[in-house]
Amino acid sequence: MSPSAYTSSITAILSSSLLLPSVLMIACLLFLYLAYRLALRAFSSSASAAAATAPARKLPLPPGSMGWPYIGETFQLYSNSNPNIFFALKQKRYGSIFKTHILGCPCVMVSSPEAARLVLVTRAHLFKPTFPASKECMLGPQAIFFQQGEYHARLRRLVLRAFMPDGIRGFVPNIESVALCALRSWDGRMVNTFQEMKTYALNVALLSIFGKDEISYMEELKQCYYTLEKGYNSMPINLPGTLFHKAMKARKQLGQIVAKIISSRREKKVGDAGGLLRSFMEAKEALTEEQISDNIIGVIFAARDTTASVLTWIVKFLGENPAVLQAVTEEQEEIMNSKVVDEEEKSLSWADTKRMPMTSRVIQETMRVASILSFTFREAVQDVELEGYLIPKGWKVMPLFRNIHHSPDNFPNPEKFDPSRFEVSPKPNTFMPFGNGSHSCPGNELAKLEMLVLLHHLTTKYRWSVSGLQSGIQFGPFALPLNGLPMTFSRKI
Ligand code: HEM
Ligand SMILES: *[C@@H]1O[C@H](CO)[C@@H](O)[C@H](O)[C@H]1NC(C)=O
């Protein structure tokens, strides 16, 4: 969603570029091309002088082509409307590290586990998170994705405290009620699977943020969030009437709602609702209200479409692989049967969700095949050497998760959906659906938990069929089955 700045939004930057009127593009292109030719002539002498003083510059740039000035290879990237085709072609042609140029930024794309480890983990201090300013002001400039150093570490501790197992295990029964309520509402009618999963993921995210007993303001908050979301992929023009303008207004309102919730909590001094807000409010070194609301909005954004996309893919893959669905259903039925006491089904517990190895492998394999966050973005803070090549200061660096997940070196027969491959743990830095290093996903335990809980009830109580559906992928900005996977779920008995 997609974050260094959150990955998703990165993809969103790219998709928003498509909205640029082509006229503007062409004008820009001509103008910039001319300017570029002039600049090239004017600066060619000074550039070679600079090269002599910086030893790192003796290293070659990675192979690859930069395309046209300014727009670079943006069109090639989008020409198939599937960015992954572009990545795969480039990798085939140039290898696991290559340069390109998209949306005005020179960038280096990397797709070996070693290079990804270097950028995200071992030399992460040389690569800072990066986002376009418009995305930053929409999500909140103080949100965790954009930070580095001490403030980032402090925020991250607070977020992890709320989302690590000890913070979320108490929510299992609540997540279960949200899941059951969602499933009941789908029963027997045609639904858009992705839309329904988004509603589920939003409700779980709000529960994990505001805790168990917050009910006031939730409808208002959701409405504001929907408005904000609509502006997210729009052109960043802040004039009355534009989606962007409405989104910025909605963001302000969201901040006010969060402030109201905070002050009512301070007054009531209520105890143990749990959740991220409590973790923020109990920070030793107090956060400002703005810091809190930027991060709450950011977490909703990071949690929602990501989890919903993965769940949608799981429904699809299970539908297409009856033997796998059968195995998952048997695993879940066994747990269900063990929960029935005096003909009543007891709530799931955290421990139950740890007895779902088959279902967990289906989640892993789905995240590998679908790789909904195809890549993330960083920016080199100085000239950096990578595998014998120079990455100049200021260039973007993109670890291509999807290429890593689809390389036959890491996963034999990579296009095949085969959960059994996860019976053996993948090698380090070959499977990174949640990223790695200091910006890796702090919500991964919650994401897995909410997927397991939903799948428990979905497989034991409902049937669905994907046969005869159109297959295909769309990007919005996450990879998603075509049209959000329209589907009918019906109760088994
Ligand atoms: C299956 C669902 C999810 C996937 C695939 C996913 C994936 C990721 C990835 C790959 C990153 C790292 C991006 C980078 O390094 O640039 C990330 C960061 C993040 N995710 Fe998730 N995520 C998911 C669900 C969630 C949930 C449920 C939450 C919150 C409850 C969450 C909160 C965050 C936050 C706050 C960050 C930024 C961390 C930082 O910058 O320090 N995510 N996510
Ligand atoms: C993250 O990187 C570390 C260090 O290379 C590695 O030990 C770990 O397995 C990596 N995590 C993943 C999910 O690959």
What are the tens digits of pLDDT across the range 262-305?
Answer: 998 888 766 667 899 999 999 999 999 999 999 999 999 999 99
User: From atom 31 of ligand 1, which residue's Cα is the shortest distance away?
Assistant: 443
Q: Which of 405, 429, 457 is the last residue of a domain?
A: 405
> CB under 8 Å to 108, separation ≥6 — which residues?
62, 97, 98, 99, 386, 389, 391, 395, 396, 397, 398
Residue 226 located in a structural domain: no
Same domain, 304 and 383: no
For ligand 2, pick from 121, 434, 444 the residue to mutate: most ligand atoms within 8 Å of CB.
121
> Is pLDDT at 50 greater than 60 in this prediction?
no
User: Which pLDDT score is estimated for 47?
Assistant: 39
Same domain, 399 and 347: no
- Burial class from Cβ neighbours inside 10 Å (0-12, 13-18, 19+) for residue 188 reads exposed
Secondary structure (3-state) at 428? coil
Ligand 2 — pocket residues by CB below 6 A? 117, 121, 428-429, 432, 436
User: Which pLDDT score is estimated for 87?
Assistant: 79
Same domain, 111 and 162: no
Same domain, 378 and 365: no
Residue 203 located in a structural domain: yes
Q: Which ligand is nearest to the CA of 147?
A: 1
Average pLDDT over residues 443-449: 98
What share of the chain in percent tops pLDDT 70? 83
Residue 92 located in a structural domain: yes
Strands 340-341 and 344-345, how do they pair?
antiparallel
For ligand 1, pick from 280, 306, 313 the residue to mutate: most ligand atoms within 8 Å of CB.
306
Q: Cα Rg for the chain, rounded, in angstroms?
A: 24
Same domain, 118 and 169: no
Same domain, 15 and 114: yes
Q: Which ligand is nearest to the CA of 401?
A: 1
Secondary structure (3-state) at 285? coil
Maximum C-alpha span of the chain: 86
User: Which pLDDT score is estimated for 75?
Assistant: 56
Same domain, 394 and 377: yes
Residue 98 located in a structural domain: yes
> Is pLDDT at 241 greater than 80 in this prediction?
yes
- Whether a cis peptide bond, with omega within 30° of 0, leads into 106 is no
Residue 56 located in a structural domain: yes
Residue 104 located in a structural domain: yes
User: Which pLDDT score is estimated for 71?
Assistant: 57
For the stretch 349-392, pLDDT in tens is 999 999 999 999 999 999 999 999 989 999 999 999 999 999 99
What share of the chain in percent tops pLDDT 90? 66
Same domain, 103 and 189: no
CATH of the domain at 150: 1.10.630.10
User: Which pLDDT score is estimated for 38?
Assistant: 43
Same domain, 59 and 87: yes
198 versus 55: the higher-pLDDT residue is 198
225 C-alpha to ligand 1 centroid (Å): 18
Residue 80 located in a structural domain: yes
Q: How far is CA 300 from CA 27, 181, 207, 282, in A?
A: 38, 20, 11, 20
Whether the model pTM is above 0.85 = yes
User: Which pLDDT score is estimated for 3?
Assistant: 40
Same domain, 274 and 311: yes
Same domain, 378 and 286: no
Q: Which of 358, 390, 405 is the last residue of a domain?
A: 405
Query: Does the annotation place 137 within a ligand binding site?
Result: no
Instruction: State the CB neighbour count (10 A cutoff) for residue 309.
Output: 29
For the stretch 3-48, pLDDT in tens is 433 444 434 444 444 333 443 444 444 444 444 444 444 443 333 3
User: Which pLDDT score is estimated for 233?
Assistant: 75
Identify whether the C-beta of residue 276 lies closer than 8 Å to the C-beta of residue 159.
yes
For the stretch 198-223, pLDDT in tens is 999 999 999 999 998 767 899 999 99
Same domain, 123 and 13: yes
User: Which pLDDT score is estimated for 37?
Assistant: 45
For ligand 1, pick from 441, 455, 480 the residue to mutate: most ligand atoms within 8 Å of CB.
441
Domain that holds residue 90: 1-141+372-405
User: Which pLDDT score is estimated for 403?
Assistant: 93
pLDDT band for 77, please (50, 70, 90 cuts): low
> Is pLDDT at 487 greater than 80 in this prediction?
yes
CATH of the domain at 386: 3.30.43.20
State the total domains in the chain.
Answer: 2
Residue 239 located in a structural domain: no
Mean pLDDT of the chain: 85
User: Which pLDDT score is estimated for 70?
Assistant: 55
Average pLDDT over residues 225-249: 88
Block residue for tokens 């299970």 = 318
Alpha helices in 132-242, H assignment, sequence order: 133-139, 149-163, 165-168, 172-186, 193-210, 218-232
User: Which pLDDT score is estimated for 69?
Assistant: 59
